[in-house]
Chain A
Amino acid sequence: MRFITNGITFIVNAAYGLVIGMVTTLKYLFTRKATIDYPRKPFPHAERFRGVHELRKYDDGLERCIGCELCAVACPANAITVIGAENDPKARVSPGERYGYRYEIDMLRCIFCGWCEEACPTDAIVLTPRFDLADFPRQRLVYGKDKLLVRDPFTQHMANTESAATTDPGVTS
């Protein structure tokens, strides 16, 4: 008799456990999925996320960078190379005496600490929340002015406010 009651208790317990398990998984079937459909949808990031740099301009189109190399000095990873040059008064690049003739950041060395941002006296270099910079040849990951400089001075402020996806022309959200 004891054998039978023990068996029944065992079966009931086992069935109860099974039901609990099945209901649990069924609940997860209908929960919101944790996956972010990333390249097709923007990836949410922290508000002050530090990603790829951007060289900003003044609203009149002149570059903010004055070629002072303070960012290169501040950089703990020696990722920044700046070569300044004298401004030609007839065709100015920046409002000051000098401008950044060459401005390169090696994205493979950069640790995205943001010290360049803090060192810059004219707020020329800023870190945007853009983070998808994977590429194949290593040479292409040394970003020069062609990649860092914002094209339109009126879009530059978006870097600190908008999401990463909107700053990337390759992604349509």
Chain B
Amino acid sequence: MNHIPDWAIILAIKSGVLIFVVVTSFAYLMLLERKMLGWFQMRLGPTWCGPWGLLQPAADAIKLVLKEDLTPGGADRFIYKVAPALAVLAALLAYAVIPFGWLPDGTPIALASPNVGILFILAAGAIGVYGIALGGWASQSKWSLLGGIRSTAQMISYELAMGLSIIPVVILAGTTNLAGIVAAQSAHHLWYIIPLFIPAWIYGVTALAETNRAPFDLPEAETELVAGFHTEYSSLRFGTFFVAEYINMITVSAIRTLLFFGGGDGPWVGQYPLLTVVWFLVKLAIMLFVMIWWRATLPRLRYDRLMTFGWKFLLPTSVACVIVVAGIVAAMGSR
């Protein structure tokens, strides 16, 4: 094993642990969502698998693995099979740069802390649309194709507003490094949700659209498109799309926490730096709860209104925010 450098092995172990944690949290996020939706609708949610339904994700996984893996007759076999993997790859990629907290010596707990952290996450999110679009395209089914096209159009139009809503944060923090942005927030003891509540809100809305969640779940609108882009998928490939969707949900919540809610910042982090991980996870859980809450509340948007909302409202508003914030920062002469 002499030819493999130590750092590569350490990195591989770290990535393995990270992927395991993320996939497990996906499984329990799904259970949580089913429970919460049940409670919102005065039901109980899953209760039969294990105590309080806690083994439900395992049961679902076994069911999905044992199902027959179908490929439609006219499908483009290679793209059809690659698409789910691409989706989940793009979803997992973002975790490479997310700082979960701080070690006592001040280094962020993250796989990597590149200076282009935010750009990296935006790029990874943009790749995610390929999985969905290609999956819908390769299925050779009109519902899948419509779902894929909707998803592409929706993600492209909302990504603009999303990117623009992040720019004020970058202007205020003066860095695109995620750990740096969090550090800037805790240095000023000011979470950016307070000065930048409009960009924070825009980011929240566009994040819902990016992850294809209700009320922007048009790509997989059950009432219109059967199941959208993953209509033809079954077995593990369907499960993979599911994993990608829920991991994306965690990702956008994590980014929202980092950019607008101070990441791991919270009481007593000065004395106990490892508490940052706890605060980060608590904030993340609240973000996820709010996403589920939105799903339980809001009806799906009509497609033209979705586009109107994105292009005619969110985009101009975020541009205005960028101009105002940039103007204020320039006028104050400091960053």
Contact = CB atoms under 8 A, between A and B. Distances in A.
* B and A form one assembly: yes
A26 B36 CA distance: 10
Contact of B43 (A22, A24, A25, A34): A34
B47 A28 contact: no
Interface stretch (B98-106, B133-141, B291-299): B291-299
A34 B42 contact: yes
A121 interface: no
B335 to A, nearest CB: 30
Interface residues of A, number: 14
A24 B42 CA distance: 12
B42 A35 contact: yes
Contacts of A28: 39-42
A35 B294 CA distance: 23
Nearest to B36: A29
Interface string B22-54: 000000000000001011111110010000000
Interface in A1-39: 18, 21-22, 24-26, 28-29, 31-35, 37
A123 B14 CA distance: 76
A166 B245 CA distance: 46
Contacts of B44: 33, 35, 37
A26 B162 CA distance: 27
A18 B43 CA distance: 23
Interface in B196-241: none
Contacts of A35: 42-44
A14 to B, nearest CB: 10
B42 A25 contact: no
A33 B42 contact: yes
Contact of B296 (A25, A31, A32, A37): A25
Interface string A33-64: 11101000000000000000000000000000
Contacts of B36: 29
A153 B297 CA distance: 55
A22 B40 CA distance: 11
Contacts of A21: 297-298
Contacts of A18: 298
A10 to B, nearest CB: 10
A65 to B, nearest CB: 41
Contacts of A25: 40, 293, 296-297
Contacts of A22: 293-294, 297
A29 B40 contact: yes
A26 B296 CA distance: 9
Contacts of B298: 18, 21
Contacts of B297: 21-22, 24-25
A25 B42 CA distance: 10
A122 to B, nearest CB: 44
A37 B297 CA distance: 25
Nearest to A26: B293
B25 to A, nearest CB: 22
Interface of A: 18, 21-22, 24-26, 28-29, 31-35, 37
Q: Which 3 A-B pairs have the closest CB atoms?
A: A25-B297, A35-B44, A34-B42
Interface of B: 36, 38-44, 47, 293-294, 296-298
12 contacts: A18-B298, A22-B293, A22-B297, A25-B40, A26-B293, A28-B39, A28-B41, A31-B42, A33-B38, A33-B39, A33-B44, A35-B42
Given A22-B297, A33-B44, 12 more contacts: A18-B298, A21-B298, A22-B293, A25-B40, A25-B296, A25-B297, A26-B293, A28-B41, A33-B38, A33-B39, A34-B42, A35-B44
